Each structure stands twice: as C-alpha cells, then as structure tokens.
Structure 1
Amino acid sequence: MHQDSDPASSNHWEDVYRTKSSDKVSWYRPHLDISIDLLSKAGASPHSRVIDVGGGASTLVDDLLELGVANITVLDLSEQALALARQRLGNRGSEVRWMCADILTATLPDAGFDLWHDRAVLHFLTTPASERRYAEQAARSIRSGGQAVIGGFAPDGPERCSGLEVARRSAQDIAAVLGDAFELVEERYENHTTPGGTTQAFAWARLRRLDGG
C-alpha cells in the first residue's frame, strides 16, 4: 500500500510492517477472492505478465503462482513487506520479480504487462498531479488490450487508512482517473471485514487498455 510521493511515505509503511503482523493489518485477507476472480475474467493465464502494485505482503502472489502464472512483478514501497512475502514463499520467491519502489516514479517497461492489479494504492493518491502520474504509468506499461483491476475505498468507505487520508471513489471515479486510454468493463462492490472485525466498503473497477490513447 502506498501514499503520494513523499520522502516519509516509505518510512511510514516500513514502520507499519515492523510493528504489526502482516495478518493483523486492516487490509489483510487470507485470499483476495475478488482480485482473483476479476483477474481471471481479465484473461489471467500462465503466460500473463502481471504486476501487483502495492502488493506488499499480500497473498495474491501465492495464489497467482498456484494458478500457474509465471511472470509476476510485485511492487511496493516497503522492503519489509516484500521481505515478508519472499520469506513466506520460500524457494518459490525466486520465481517472482520484487520491486521496492513508488509506483509514481518506478521505471516500468513500455507495454510490459498484460494485467495490472492494485488493491488500495490508488486511494492514497489524493492530488490531481499524483492521479495523473498514476494514469500515465498504467497507460504506458499496460499493453493495448491488457487490463487493470483496481480497488479502493468506496464512497461509503472509511475516510482514512493506516492513519492517512484517502480518496474514496466509485468504479466510475476510478475509470475517470485512468482516463481515455481505458474503458470500464466491470465494476464490483465489496464489504471487506478487517482482522479486527470492522467492515470497510471497497469499490472495484476492471478496465481495458484501448489501442492508442
């Protein structure tokens, strides 16, 4: 998970993962069922090139490997979070590309991904400049016809996450951030129950990268 580009942002997330167990943070789920379903609908296959933006210690990478996906990049601001995921995977961790970077400044390959997944990164981007940069990164690095699966707090979701303000968006709002290079092909609403037992409303958008744009 991320916030806007900020020298203190990586320190924030390092502290989170140093002081809390990865299965006790509010966004934890044993399996990201909706993500897997939407990625499957987006055409995930053993040949797909997938990037999990803000993947951190998430178990999505485990499930993608189990599905046979062989080309996975996990990007996160927190080296500690990535280390937890690598440790959990053991030898299988060597099959994954790990990037400790800010999605807004990361160097990503042009048209290098078929599928882009983001659960609760975009909602930390609350300024027009950061939204625009995120959209540019997605448009440049997702191939034409590729898809993005993006989820964050819905309009009726929490106003803050991990002590930071967020932008609450509907699926249409997410599509508006991504802009004309994408079309919205599916939306989903989720009530996520945190490890502490509270409920958080998430909105999900599945978008297709258009030719050109």
Structure 2
Amino acid sequence: MSETPAGGPAHWDAAYAQGAETRSWFQAEAAPSLRLIEAAGADPAAPLLDAGGGASKLVDALLAQGFADITVADLSPAAMAISRKRLGAAAAKVTWIEADLARWTPPRRYALWHDRAAFHFLTDDAAQEGYLAALRAGTLPGAAVIIAAFAPDGPERCSGLPVRRWSPQDLAARIGPPFALEHAEAEIHRTPAGGEQRFAWTLLRRQG
C-alpha cells in the first residue's frame, strides 16, 4: 500500500508498537463515543463501522453491550492486531478490514459510521473527497454518522503529522448532503502524559 496523506501503514504500525501510554489519543474508555452512539439510537443488531478504530477499546464496550454486527477498518494492521489480541476469542465476532479510508470502497452499507480522530488527518481535498465517497457509499438511509476531529483550538499536529482542525459546523458543511447535523459537542481529552486535546464531536444523520 502506498503512502497516504495520513501517513502509510508503516508510520502507524511504528506508532502503535511504542505502547498505549505513548499515544496521545489513547482512551482507557471510549466514553464520548458510547454516549453519542446511544444518543443516535443505534440498534445493536444493525451493522456498525468503527472507521479508523485500530486499537480502540470501543469495540470491547460495544460487544459487551450486545452489538452483534461490528466492523473495524484501519490503515494499520498492527493496531488491529492489538485489539484482536486483547479481545481473544471474542475477536472472531468482529469483521476486521485493513483499509485506507481515503481510497476505500466499503463492501457493504452501515447503519452507524463512527470515526474518532481519523478524518482530521486528511488535510487535502482529494483525500477528503475519497473518504466522503466511501461515507456516502457505505451508509444506509437514515444512518447515523459520528465523527470527532480536533477542534479549531486543538492540536495542529498529532503523531508527527499535520491535521486539519474543524468546528462541528464546518465539518458538517464539508461532509454535506445527504447528511445533516443533528448534534454537536466539545470534549477536552486528557492524554496519557497529562496534556489536553480539544475535540469537536458531530452527530449527523443521513437524509434518505
């Protein structure tokens, strides 16, 4: 797989190899994601995608809540290997896809698309358009879309790479029809090193 605006798989494999405590985005619990997934009225039986889910512990919590049709897509095979090892036998209940989200054709459509901190690494228009094409192709009518990105007053770089910072309104405008903004909120994420990262969360709904 070639290099992408978000760094190639080797970049991210190396980042994950350094351990959870070295990754500024690490969460012991995916509380904001779970709260918004509940607010979206997600059906545990419906297909859910964690885009850029990597080693996130969101999948653990979703399985514990009875979600039965989960897909995790990520650029880094090492990140997903961490999750599979952590889950043990339960990893077989999840579909794992190695994918560059800016160049991906989803194999199916999902009722909920979740992305915490993947889209903001796509800093050029072409990469963003590729991601949005995947989003449109990979969501069902009425699907909920939850995307968290660094806020306008958030970091300018992460993991050695530049990011694009977004307000919820600007992000919703960039995503555009057929998705409409349903809810927005701010989060101050505490990094393992004790720093702060300001995130903007958006919940959008596909209109038809």
1:12-46 alpha-carbon deviations (Å, 9 max, x no partner): 0011112x112431001111111001111112232
TM-score, normalised with respect to structure 2 = 0.95
In structure 2, relative to structure 1, the CA distance for the partners of 1:42 and 1:8 (3 Å cut) is closer
1:107 Cα deviation after fit = 2.8
1:7 Cα deviation after fit = 9.6
2:51 maps to 1:25: no
| Partner of residue 85, structure 1 | 83
In structure 2, give the amino acid aligned to 1:71.
D
| Partner of residue 187, structure 1 | 184
Q: Distance in 1 between matches of 2:191 and 2:5?
A: 27
1:23, 1:29 within 8 Å by CA — same for their partners in 2?
no
| Partner of residue 170, structure 1 | 167
Task: List gaps (5 residues or longer) in structure 1.
Answer: none
Alignment of 1:1-213 (within 5 A): 5=4, 9-18=8-17, 20-110=18-108, 112-211=109-208
TM-score, normalised with respect to structure 1 = 0.93
Q: Distance in 2 between matches of 1:168 and 1:6?
A: 15
SS state at 1:109 partner: coil
Q: Distance in 2 between matches of 1:23 and 1:178?
A: 32
2:6, 2:161 within 8 Å by CA — same for their partners in 1?
no
Q: Distance in 2 between matches of 1:210 and 1:140?
A: 14
Q: Distance in 1 between matches of 2:101 and 2:126?
A: 13
Instruction: Quote the RMSD (CA, aligned, Å).
Output: 1.4
Q: Distance in 2 between matches of 1:72 and 1:43?
A: 16
State, as a whole percentage, how many aligned pairs show the same letter: 44
2:7, 2:161 within 8 Å by CA — same for their partners in 1?
no
